[in-house]
Amino acid sequence: MIAATVVVQLKKLLGEKGVLDQPADLALYEYDGGVDKHRPDVVVFPRDTAQVVAIVNLAREAGVPFVGRGAGTGLSGGVIARRGGIMISFARMNKILDIDLENERITVQPGVVSLDVTLAVQAQKDFYAPDPSSQRACTIGGNVAENAGGPHTLAYGVTTNHVLGLEMVLPDGSVVTTGGAEQDLPGYDLVGLMTGSEGTMGLVTNVVLRLMRQPELVKTTLAIFNSPADAGNAVGEITARAITPVAVEMLDGVMLRMVEEATHAGYPLDAAAVLLIELEGLKEAVEEQVEQVREACLACGAREFRIAKSEEERALLWKGRKNAFGAVGRLSPFYYVQDGVVPRTKIAATLQEIGRIGEKYGLTISNIFHAGDGNMHPIILFDARKPGELEKAQHAGEDILKYCVSVGGSITGEHGVGMEKMELMADLFTPDTLDMIGRFKSLFDPTCLLNPDKVLPTGRGCMEIRQKPVTAETML
């Protein structure tokens, strides 16, 4: 439990409306979009960098753990206050600070909603490329922490490819800036190190982002298959023909039926799988590529290939994709989303293995994922009200991720490790590599107070933390 004197000091700093410490309020901050829970002792809402510094200094002096939080849409437990302490919500640091269209740059606070970056510049024909499925709710600070992806990262890359500069508050209370609006600044790439570090080494307070110009033409297509394996093979065939769409999304039969019943987006209810494929660029090039993609899909057994005839039809198809997770609730009261990555050539085999794992545990598993870069998102349906069902879902998810690693993939593509996948890090990395990661963490956070017990594995049972407070001996 946090000392009452610390709460009093926080209220003096932020005011009564800037601090939550009642159980009913704290219950709203004990979880994210995953399945794990732990309640913080207090939630605070700074409005600027100076207040973040003051909170961090107070936490450090009191020896209290602290963790940053964006919108809470994460799926790996990254913002859960595992040791209690202070949760620092950036919801009120939500201003767009500067827009530089001539140089295609924008500077924002971490609480700015991801989609609002594009909305701020779209009238001038610019946009912000990363587009997580939760982009209407998730915030830039969380996107930076998790190195968020999205459907269009096949061509544009993930968040780290669009973050140019950061202002951060480190665990010792110092404020540092790294990178900036300029291109390719000298020195170590600390922006790259911090993006994707899951809020374990610093708290981001300002972000400089890259903007892009809208393309001349966009074409959205839907390839319909009677077999998920055929759809998976089509992804490899498109790549083999040297075509790089901006997005290749796959929905299996279970998922597309849930989506269609919820959104009426035009997905065929009798299909076994569909590929949602988008191409953009110069008009002549896009039109030629659409025909090449059509030929690739038909060669792999597609029974039908549709092209969206209007912007409204295109938006409806993407509405179905973006609202897919919400649609799952119509069929199952609970679901568990996973985030493994496999080589594109292993997609078909991975889908078959996911089906086998579902049968093993007696669970329905639907699939919707970024097929273009092999980022699988199996959705495991279960009922937590039934004893043992949550545990079965978690075991199924672990089996899926271990299979992804076994075929040359990874345990996460965009959701992060958090506390959900900590133990699986040992399946992906050698002990020496894990020790190196731990030394980076200890360099930035020697007292282990910032978002502790995340990312790095712990000893099972005894919960022996791999990350230990830094000493002179461990730094040698």
Burial of 291 (0-12, 13-18, 19+ CB in 10 A): exposed
Q: Are residues 130 and 196 in the same domain?
A: yes
User: For 231-266, how does the pLDDT look when each residue is reduced to its tens digit (9 = 90+)?
Assistant: 999 999 998 999 999 999 999 999 999 999 988 989
Q: Are residues 224 and 302 in the same domain?
A: yes
Per the structure, how many domains does the chain have? Answer: 5
The pLDDT assigned to 473 comes to 42
What CATH number did the domain enclosing 46 receive? 3.30.43.10
Q: Are residues 12 and 82 in the same domain?
A: yes
Tell which residue, 218, 343, 220, 320, has the closest CA to residue 263: 320
The pLDDT assigned to 314 comes to 94
Q: Are residues 178 and 239 in the same domain?
A: no
Q: Are residues 84 and 132 in the same domain?
A: no
Would 159 be classed as within a structural domain?
yes
User: For 320-360, how does the pLDDT look when each residue is reduced to its tens digit (9 = 90+)?
Assistant: 898 888 888 878 889 999 999 999 999 999 999 999 999 99
* CA distances for 109 relative to 79, 99, 122, 449, angstroms: 18, 12, 19, 23
Give phi and psi for 273, each to the nearest 5: -170, 155
The pLDDT assigned to 322 comes to 86
Would 424 be classed as within a structural domain?
no
- How are the residues of the chain apportioned to helix, strand and coil, as percentages rounded to the nearest 5? 40, 20, 40
State which residues form the domain around 338: 332-406
User: For 354-387, how does the pLDDT look when each residue is reduced to its tens digit (9 = 90+)?
Assistant: 999 999 999 999 999 999 999 999 999 999 999 9
Would 445 be classed as within a structural domain?
yes
What CATH number did the domain enclosing 209 receive? 3.30.465.10
Would 154 be classed as within a structural domain?
yes
Domain termination residue (choose one: 63, 89, 115): 89
Would 423 be classed as within a structural domain?
no
* CA distances for 75 relative to 33, 37, 327, 339, 430, angstroms: 5, 12, 17, 9, 25
d(CA 198, CA 220): 33
| Distant-in-sequence, close-in-space partners of 199: CB < 8 Å, separation ≥ 6 | 67, 68, 78, 79, 145, 450, 451, 454
| Distant-in-sequence, close-in-space partners of 148: CB < 8 Å, separation ≥ 6 | 114, 130, 132, 138, 142, 158, 159, 414
d(CA 40, CA 470): 25
Token readout for 395 is 């075991």
Q: Are residues 209 and 225 in the same domain?
A: no
- Provide the Cα torsion 467, 468, 470, 475; round to 10°: -60
What CATH number did the domain enclosing 234 receive? 3.30.70.2190
Token readout for 148 is 């968020």
Q: Are residues 303 and 246 in the same domain?
A: yes
Would 416 be classed as within a structural domain?
no
| Distant-in-sequence, close-in-space partners of 226: CB < 8 Å, separation ≥ 6 | 271, 272, 301, 303
Q: Are residues 306 and 224 in the same domain?
A: yes
Q: Are residues 315 and 232 in the same domain?
A: yes
Strand partners, 106: 99, 209
Q: Are residues 341 and 308 in the same domain?
A: no
Q: Are 411 and 417 in contact (CB under 8 A)?
A: yes
Domain termination residue (choose one: 159, 178, 213): 213
Would 54 be classed as within a structural domain?
yes
Q: Looking at residue 363, what DSSP letter applies? A: -
Would 413 be classed as within a structural domain?
no
Q: Are residues 111 and 70 in the same domain?
A: no
Q: Which residue has the tokens 């998810």?
A: 397
Q: Are residues 143 and 171 in the same domain?
A: yes
Strand partners, 365: 380
The pLDDT assigned to 463 comes to 37
Tell which residue, 404, 444, 415, has the closest CA to residue 172: 444
Low-confidence residues in the chain, pLDDT < 50: 459-476
Domain termination residue (choose one: 74, 89, 104): 89
What CATH number did the domain enclosing 345 receive? 3.30.70
